[in-house]
Structure 1
Amino acid sequence: MGIFSNILNKIFPHDHPAATGSGATAAPATAQQPSPAAPGAAPAGSSTPAAAGTVQPPVTPMPEVDVESVLSAMQAKQGQELNWRTSIVDLMKLLGLDSSLTARKELAAELHYSGNTEDSAAMNMWLHKAVMKKLAENGGKVPADLKD
């Protein structure tokens, strides 16, 4: 289990698809498009009767989690002033995770950071935005100012 999975498990309810591992790396169900290479899918341009009669199961939207509310409540309980809104270090501390440079470099590798990990300031800013974006992709309601 990676660091981002730990972040999901701390923020999302334990029965949420993203926290249970069934959605931790995938986009939410509402944004998924059927894959042309999916088993049983007809090739593009095919008009065979079997392809026309194939019924796709309904897509159930992933339940949304208000990330800002969860994190604000965690901070209120903790009583420590942490700037989790802009700092990946403070976000990780709030969640009770290792926020060391080594852990952040591991998270950067997990999220495919292509910049210089020796420039920790640039990496940290990128990590915070990437984590917020990934939370949103996994069913988290994240305010726009935290993703951009």
Structure 2
Amino acid sequence: MGIFSSISNAIFGSDEEEAAAPEAAAAPAAAPKRDAISGVDVEQRIGSIPGSDKLNWKTSIVDLMKLVQIDPSYANRKELAQELGNADYSGTAEDNIALHKAVMNKIAAAGGIVPADLKD
């Protein structure tokens, strides 16, 4: 699993977590496979993670990664940037801002509701 998938799963849950839910809670008819991101208010969801009020996750990729308990090391940020198509990531402040926006744009492209100020 890649870094972006780890971020997405930390925010929205994963298919494995949903599959582990008790069968008794399921509706009598087979429930359709859920779309973890589509239609979700991303700002509200991330803002409800404990500790979100103490971190600048809305603009900082490092703080966003810390919030979802992913090591924000340079190596992990570089791997994330490469996953999102930036092979020239060098870890500058500008690169980190662009990486945060790229993450938010990808979440929005997957159907998440992301405020314009968190995207490009």
Cα distance in 1 for partners of 2:56, 2:87 equals 25
Q: How many residues align?
A: 102
Letter in 1 for 2:46: L
Q: Say yes or no: does 1:64 pair with 2:7.
A: no
1:95 to 50, 68, 74: 68
C-alpha displacement at 1:63, in angstroms? 3.2
Q: Say yes or no: does 1:86 pair with 2:50.
A: no
User: Structure 2: where are the runs of 5+ without partners?
Assistant: 20-34
Q: Deviations over 1:68-91 (max 9, x none)?
A: 0011111xx227610000000000
1:1-148 counterparts in 2 under 5 A?
1-15=1-15, 63-74=38-49, 77-78=50-51, 81-115=54-88, 117-148=89-120
Cα distance in 2 for partners of 1:133, 1:71 equals 15
User: Structure 1: where are the runs of 5+ without partners?
Assistant: 21-60
Sort the Cα spacing of 1:130 and 1:80 in 2 relative to 1 into closer, same or farther, 3 A.
same
> What TM-score do you get using the length of structure 2 for normalisation?
0.75
Runs (4 or more) in structure 1 with deviation over 4 Å come to none
Cα distance in 2 for partners of 1:63, 1:90 equals 24
Report % sequence identity: 53
> More relative contact order in 1 or in 2 (CA 8 Å, sep 6+)?
2
> What TM-score do you get using the length of structure 1 for normalisation?
0.62
Sort the Cα spacing of 1:104 and 1:70 in 2 relative to 1 into closer, same or farther, 3 A.
same
Cα distance in 1 for partners of 2:76, 2:92 equals 12
Sort the Cα spacing of 1:141 and 1:123 in 2 relative to 1 into closer, same or farther, 3 A.
same
Cα distance in 2 for partners of 1:130, 1:105 equals 13
